[in-house]
Amino acid sequence: MIKHHLTEDLLMAYSAGALSEAFSLAVATHISLCDECRAAAESYDAVGGAVMVSTDAAPVSDSCLSNTLAAIREADTETPAPRLTDTVLPSPLAEYVGGGVDKIKWKSAGMGVKQAILPTNDDAVARLLYIPAGAAVPDHGHGGLELTCVLQGAFRDEDMRFARGDIEVATEEVDHTPIADISEDCICLAVTDAPLKFKGWLPRLAQPFLGI
Amino acid sequence: MKEDNHGYWIDQMRRISENRDEDAFVALFQHFAPRMKSFLMRSGSDNALAEEIVQDVMTTVWRKAHLFNPTRASVSTWIYTIARNRRVDLIRRQKRPEPEDLPWGPEQEPDQTDLIGLQQESEQLGVALSALPEKQRILIEKAYFGDLSHGEIAAETGLPLGTIKSRIRLALDRLRHAMS
Ligand SMILES: [Zn+2]
């Protein structure tokens, strides 16, 4: 049962195609696991469709139509290949990893925490984090937006608990210290649009490892 | 007008997917292509790029017509999502991660009540959008055309961010109300 959802701003921006690739990945990951936000995203798409058809039409050249007709006469029907799936990683993430959890190329980030940065364009950074049961992600504030979607296990932040599918939307006002549940190692997707600012000497040592 | 009738476009889609009917495709093209082009130009592409994307999107419509599911989306919504994804590809030059597919597929026979319900909602949505107060409608359009965050709309319009957010929220409430 998912308790923590996307904001309306994020859903609308995703539908409008206005988010950077890494944030779109976090939104697509949550929607893959959350029927409620999937339905909301589809409503925003419907608004997009209505906006598009309500636009004053711009004249299209005759050659655009004739080129399109020539193209469709050459074209076969297209059925996309089945998408990669995995029990932990929803399809959009599995596609970035190139398979399931066993294909993630983890790098140590110190203190038992591991991370893998995903190949999105560099407007924002998407990373998978592996947090051993009971361990904390270094205490940090942010310069911008951070989305964290849980894929396995759970973490606590202040008095809230985030389990599989839940997404935490943290803004620059929030200082937070996610701590993994002791029951199971936690895997999550974390997306940031600005470098994380860690506090204290120990976490700062971890910064070069985290690549930020 | 038949163009405002969502059932009419669903019929054209069926003729395309089942009979590869070019007349149905031309009807679809003549209605959607000029609107899509205008949408793309307002999103920042020039005339040539907009027509290139229109051609590409309409060819995809032809090739994927059998995947269109009228109980999940109206024809305009479906075409919008294809155009939006092409715009992200070509203008923003980035990939567009899509959610995992739902376990059911388009091959199921559509449920008539779902189908009619969705057509009615789509028609009501179109009416509600054009009935929005001007100030709200412009912001909704900017959010979809302009590729702008709410913060960027604030910078462009000189309106406070809070005003923009509350106008967009009001507009969405009205649209939601129209669809329920
Ligand atoms: Zn949700």
What ipTM did this prediction achieve?
Answer: 0.90
Write the pLDDT tens digit of every residue in B122-170: 888 888 888 898 888 888 888 887 656 667 777 777 878 788 788 888 8
Same domain membership, residue B28 and residue B52:
yes
If we measure between CA atoms, which residue out of A172, A164, A132, A135 comes closest to residue A148?
A: A164
CA of A168 to the centre of ligand 1 (A): 10
Task: State the total domains in chain A.
Answer: 1
Res B113: pLDDT: 78
B174 → chain A, closest CA residue: A47
B168 → chain A, closest CA residue: A9
Same domain membership, residue B162 and residue B117:
no
CA of B64 to the centre of ligand 1 (A): 29
Count of A-B CB contacts under 8 Å: 192
Q: What is the mean pLDDT of residues B7-34?
A: 95
Q: Do B172 and A54 touch (CB under 8 A)?
A: no
Is A131:A155 a contact under the CB 8 Å cutoff? Answer: yes
What is the rounded distance in angstroms from the CA atom of residue A60 to the CA atom of residue A67? 12
Distance of CA A108 to the CA centre of its chain: 21
CATH of residue B173's domain is: 1.10.10.10
Q: Give me the domain span that covers residue A205.
A: 1-212
CATH of residue B81's domain is: 1.10.1740.10
Task: State the total domains in chain B.
Answer: 2
Same domain membership, residue B115 and residue B154:
no
Same domain membership, residue B92 and residue B146:
no
Same domain membership, residue B73 and residue B32:
yes
Tokens of B91: 């203008």
Distance from CA of B109 to the nearest CA of A (A): 18
CATH of residue A68's domain is: 2.60.120.10
* A117 phi, psi to nearest 5 deg: -85, 135
A contacts of B102 (beta carbons < 8 Å)? 38
* B173 phi, psi to nearest 5 deg: -60, -45
What is the rounded distance in angstroms from the CA atom of residue A147 to the CA atom of residue A190? 6
Q: What is the mean pLDDT of residues A6-26?
A: 92
Nearest to A28 among B92, B93, B98 (CB): B98
Q: Would you say residue B103 lies in a domain?
A: no
Dihedral of CA atoms B141, A15, B148, B96 in degrees, nearest 10, equals: -140
| pTM assigned to the model | 0.89
Is A186:A154 a contact under the CB 8 Å cutoff? Answer: yes
Q: What is the DSSP string of B29-57?
A: HHHHHHHHHHHHHHTT--HHHHHHHHHHH
Would you tell me how many other CB atoms lie within 10 Å of the CB of residue B74? Answer: 26
If we measure between CA atoms, which residue out of A56, A40, A12, A38 comes closest to residue B140?
A: A12
Tokens of A156: 């606590």
pLDDT band per the 50, 70, 90 thresholds, residue B104: low
Res A11: pLDDT: 92
Q: Give me the domain span that covers residue B53.
A: 1-97+110-131
What ranges make up the beta strands (E) of A92-158?
Answer: 107-108, 114-117, 125-131, 140-142, 146-152, 154-157
Q: What is the DSSP letter of A124?
A: S
B contacts of A92 (beta carbons < 8 Å)? 97-100
